[in-house]
Amino acid sequence: MIARFGSFGVLVACIASVVSALSMATGVVIARPGFVNIGRKFIPYVVGGSIVSVIAMQTALLRHDFSIKYVAENNARNTPLPYTIAGMWAALEGSILLWGFVLVCYLSLVWWRFRKRLDDPLVVWALVTMLVVCAFFFALMVGPTNPFTLLSAIPADGRGPNPLLQNHILMAFHPPMLYLGYVGFTVPFAFAISALITGRLGEGWLLETRKWTLVAWGCLTFGIILGGWWSYEVLGWGGYWAWDPVENASFLPWLTGTAFIHSVLVQERRGMLRVWNLSLVCSTFALTILGTFLTRSGVVLSVHAFSNSEIGSWLLAFFTVIVLVTVGLIVWRGERLRSPGAIDSPLSREAAFMANNVLFGAFAFVVLLGTVFPLVVEALNGDRLSVGTPYFNRMSKPIGVSLLFLMAVAPVLPWRKASAELLRTRLQWPLVGATVTIVACVSFGLRGGWPLVTFTLAAFAAGAALRQLGLAMRGAHRSGRSVLSGLVGRANGGMVVHVGVILVAIAIGASGSYATSTQVLLKPGQSTKINGHTFTYLGLNEQVKRGNLVTTLRVQTDGGRVDGPSLTKFDAQGQVVAKPSVRTGLFEDRYIRIIDAPDDAKGIASFEIKSEPMILWLWIGGFVMAFGTLLSTIPGRRRRATAPTSVASADDEDRLLAGVV
C-alpha cells in the first residue's frame, strides 16, 4: 500500500510538471493568459505529488517495509533512527527522490514569491524552465530509478545502509545541505534562460535572483565543509579532501557560482559582463547535472559514488541539452548582449573582479580537466588513467594564492579608477599585518614557500576585510544603531565570508604542510613518545552494538585521557569499518587510527598517530562563511546609487563605506 501511494505521488508530480510547463509555455507564446492560468493551477499537484512520495518513503523506512526493494537494500531493523531517516538519500533511487523534493520546494517558493506577477513573461518562462527540470527528474523516478519497486520475495530483515553511511551523524546533514546548494542554482538558471527567451537582458533578472543565488551558494559551501568534516572523522585516512572525482563534482559548480556572485556586481553597477554572467550561471547549473552524472552513473570509483545504474545516459543527454540550449540562446541574442560599459582602468574594482573571474574560470578548468580527462580516455580506447593529488595541488596552489591577493586588493579599490595615493592609504595597515605575519612565522621556525606565502597573503586579505567591517560598524555606531548592524548587507556580509575563506586557507596551508604521521607497533602496556606526547596502549575491548561487533583499542595520552579508535564489523554487508579517534585542540588535532588490530596471543596492535595542525579552524571558517552568507541576504542600508565618475579620495570612499550597513 505504501509503495502504491509513493508511486502515485511520483506519477502525479511527473504528469503535472509536463502539463503545467506545456500549458504555460503555450499561453505566453500565443499571448493567451488563460493557458497560463491553467498551467499554474497544476503547480500544487507537482508539490503535492512530491510530498506524498517523500512521506511514503519515510513511512516505509520507519516501518521497515522490506517489500520495497529500496528499503530492503538500505535499511535494517537494527539501523539507528537518524540513519533510518537518512536512508532516503543513502542510495541512488532515494537520492533522486530527495533531489526532486528539494527542487519542488524551490519551485513552490518561487511560485509563491512571484504569485502576483504571473502575467509577466519573465516569471512565466522561469517557472516553465523549472517545471521542465522537475519533469525530467520525476520521469527518472517513473522509469529507471523508481524508488518504490516491489520485491517478489520479502526478506525478514534488510541489508542496512552502507556501513560508511551509518558511522557518523554528519551523514544526516551533509547530503541534504549539498542538495539545497546544487538544486538551488536551478532558480538563477531558470531566470537566465527566461531573460534570454524574452530578450530582457538588462539587470532585472539579476535583481530577481540575487538572494536565491546567495542561498544556493551558501548551502553548497556549507555542504562541502560538512563533507570534508565527515571524511576526516569517518574514512580514517587523516584528511578532509582528496580531489576525489565526486568531491570535484561538488567543487566545480562552487567555483563557477563564486565567480558569478562576484561578476554580477560589475553588471549591476556598470552594465558589463552580460554574456559572461549568463554563461556562468548556466554553466553552474550544467555542472550540477554533470556532477549528478559522475555521482550516480557508476563511471567513477569512489566511496562517495553510487554503483552502476541506468540513468547515466539520461543525465548525460540532459546535460548536453542544457549546454546546447544555453549556447543557442546566447548566440541568438548576441547583438542585444553588448555591454554599454567598459573598464576604465586596470586599477579599479571592476578590473579586479574580472581578474578574479579569470582565476576562478582557470581553477574550474583545471579541476574539470583532471576529473573528466581519465573518463574520456577510457571511453575512447579503454585505458584506465588516474589523475592524482599531485596534479591538482600543483595546479591549484598558484591560483589559490593569487585569489588571496585579489581578496586583499579588490575590496579597497573604487569603481572606475584608483589613484596611487588612495591605494597607499587603504593598504597601509593590511600590508603592516602581512609583514608582521611573515616575520612572526619565520621567527617561530615555520618553513616552506607555499605555506608562508599563504599565511602572508591571508593576513593581507584579512586586514582589508576587517578594515571594511570596522568602517561599517563605526558608521552604524555614529548613526545611533547597533554596531553589529554594520555587518548586515551584501557588501559587509561578503567581507564576513572573506574572513571565513581566510580561516579555511590558513587551515589548509598549515595542515597540508606541517602535519606529521608516525606508525607504531605496541603491545598492551607498552608506550611510545611522539612529538613530545606519550602514548600508551592499554588493551582492547569488544562489545556487540546493534548486532555488530565493535573492537575498541584503548590508547592513553600523557597519562590522562584515554582515546578509543575502533573497528566495527558489519555482518550484513561483510565489511569492517575503522573509526579513528580524534582529539581536537585549538591549534592541533591528535588523530589515532588502527592499521591492524591484534590477531595473535601477543596482542600487538599497529597504529598510525598523526598531528594535524589548525584543523579546527577549517570547520570554524566554514561556519563563518555560512554566517556571512546569511548576513548577505539581509537588506542593508543602501548607498546612494550615484557611481563615482572620477577618482575618489580615500576619505570620500571611506565615508561612503562607513555608511553602507
- Beta-strand relationship, 516-522 and 548-557: unpaired
Q: What is the DSSP string of 586-631?
A: SSEEEEEEEEE---STT--EEEEEEEEETHHHHHHHHHHHHHHHHH
What percent of the chain is predicted at pLDDT more than 70?
93
Over the stretch 381-398, which tens digit does the pLDDT of each residue have? 766 677 788 899 999 999
**Who contacts 135 (Cβ-Cβ below 8 Å, separation ≥6)?**
14, 17, 18, 21
E strand or H helix that includes residue 555? strand 548-557
Q: Inform me whether the pLDDT recorded for 110 exceeds 60.
A: yes
Interatomic CA distance for residues 19 and 11, integer angstroms: 12
Give the model's confidence band at 655: pLDDT under 50 very low, under 70 low, under 90 confident, else very high. Answer: very low
Over the stretch 292-335, which tens digit does the pLDDT of each residue have? 888 877 666 555 555 556 788 899 999 999 999 999 999 998 77
pLDDT value, residue 299: 64
Q: Inform me whether the pLDDT recorded for 367 exceeds 60.
A: yes
pLDDT value, residue 308: 56
- Beta-strand relationship, 527-530 and 548-557: unpaired
pLDDT value, residue 242: 87
Burial degree of 390 (CB within 10 A; 0-12, 13-18, 19+): exposed
Over the stretch 370-385, which tens digit does the pLDDT of each residue have? 988 887 777 677 666 7
Over the stretch 9-46, which tens digit does the pLDDT of each residue have? 999 999 999 999 999 999 999 989 899 999 999 999 99
What mean pLDDT is predicted for residues 266-293? 88
Give the model's confidence band at 275: pLDDT under 50 very low, under 70 low, under 90 confident, else very high. Answer: confident
Closest by CA to 454, choosing from 625, 617, 226, is 617
Q: At what angle do helices 43-62 and 121-142 cross, to 10 degrees?
A: 30
Q: Please answer whether residues 472 and 488 qualify as being in contact, where contact means their C-beta atoms are separated by less than 8 angstroms.
A: no
pLDDT value, residue 630: 92
pTM of the model: 0.90
Over the stretch 227-257, which tens digit does the pLDDT of each residue have? 999 989 888 777 899 888 888 999 999 999 9
Q: Inform me whether the pLDDT recorded for 636 exceeds 80.
A: no
What mean pLDDT is predicted for residues 75-95? 90
Over the stretch 563-601, which tens digit does the pLDDT of each residue have? 889 888 887 777 888 889 898 889 999 899 888 888 766
User: What Rg value do the Cα atoms of the chain yield, rounded?
Assistant: 27
Q: Please answer whether residues 575 and 236 qualify as being in contact, where contact means their C-beta atoms are separated by less than 8 angstroms.
A: no
DSSP 634: S
Burial degree of 99 (CB within 10 A; 0-12, 13-18, 19+): buried
Q: Where are the alpha helices (DSSP H) in 444-590?
A: 449-478, 490-514
Over the stretch 407-463, which tens digit does the pLDDT of each residue have? 999 888 887 777 777 788 888 888 999 999 999 999 988 888 899 999 999 999 999
Which CA distances in Å does 338 have to 167, 273, 334?
53, 9, 7
